Chain A
Amino acid sequence: GQQLNQSPQSMFIQEGEDVSMNCTSSSIFNTWLWYKQDPGEGPVLLIALYKAGELTSNGRLTAQFGITRKDSFLNISASIPSDVGIYFCAALSNTGNQFYFGTGTSLTVIP
């Protein structure tokens, strides 16, 4: 199936630092989503992006839908311990009938 290349695979940062992760693909998508998953739980939607070039914020989180429609990034500012978890990007195909997830970025915040 389609591949969403998410990087980095893992990050270890100090509390208060900013974080950046991204997702790229060789295919064009109409919708990009970012989720966070805590152990033993399902993913929780953080931000949804519907238009190329769109920049959307949700509190300390900011995500952008790449202008080529083949990539997206997520930034977390001033990280806190509860930001720990696995972050996934996801993308919806142009036809809206296939949904793909990235491989995840594991974030550890050191107090």
Chain B
Amino acid sequence: KAGVTQTPRYLIKTRGQQVTLSCSPISGHRSVSWYQQTPGQGLQFLFEYFSETQRNKGNFPGRFSGRQFSNSRSEMNVSTLELGDSALYLCASSTRTGTGGYTFGSGTRLTVV
């Protein structure tokens, strides 16, 4: 059974640009949650999608957005990148909503220069 797949693994962007990250959940999992991990703030919940609808949202500015497709794949977008957005972005999937996601992908390492 394939795990949670995140692409790309590494990304370097310039301040002010926008970026889109992709997450393919485990087959049959309809919930996808996104997290930001930084040395200073640790792991922070961004949002959760279930059946193409955003169900829950953390305390991040509107520059962070996401969506989920009918096949449960999810994308996360960050617009007008700032240096502080450099982080490991993780997604996790689950069969049910409201669990925070039990199975994590390996993450996308985003560096903003």
New contact pairs (6) apart from A41-B107, A44-B104, A98-B58, CB-CB < 8 Å: A42-B90, A97-B48, A97-B56, A98-B56, A99-B33, A101-B43
List residues of B (82-113) whose CB comes within 8 Å of A's CBs. Answer: 90, 92, 97-107
A31: which B residues are within 8 A, CB to CB? 99-100
In whole Å, how far is A100's beta carbon from the nearest beta carbon of chain B? 7
Number of interface residues of A (CB under 8 A): 23
Determine if B70 is an interface residue (Cβ-Cβ < 8 Å).
no
Number of interface residues of B (CB under 8 A): 25
Closest to B91 in A: A42
Determine if A111 is an interface residue (Cβ-Cβ < 8 Å).
no
B63: which A residues are within 8 A, CB to CB? none
User: Interface of A with B (CB < 8 Å)?
Assistant: 1, 31, 33, 35, 40-45, 48, 88, 90, 92, 96-104
Residue picked from B33, B43, B90, B102, most chain A C-beta under 10 Å: B43
Closest to A40 in B: B106
B43 touches A45 (CB 8 A): no
| Whole-angstrom CA separation of A96 from B45 in the bound complex | 13
B45: which A residues are within 8 A, CB to CB? 98-101
User: Interface of B with A (CB < 8 Å)?
Assistant: 4, 33, 35, 42-45, 48, 55-56, 58-59, 90, 92, 97-107
A101 touches B44 (CB 8 A): yes
B92 touches A96 (CB 8 A): no
Q: Which of A43, A92, A104 contacts B98 (CB 8 A)?
A: A92
B100 touches A92 (CB 8 A): yes
A40: which B residues are within 8 A, CB to CB? 106
A1 touches B102 (CB 8 A): no
| Whole-angstrom CA separation of A97 from B42 in the bound complex | 19
A42 touches B107 (CB 8 A): yes
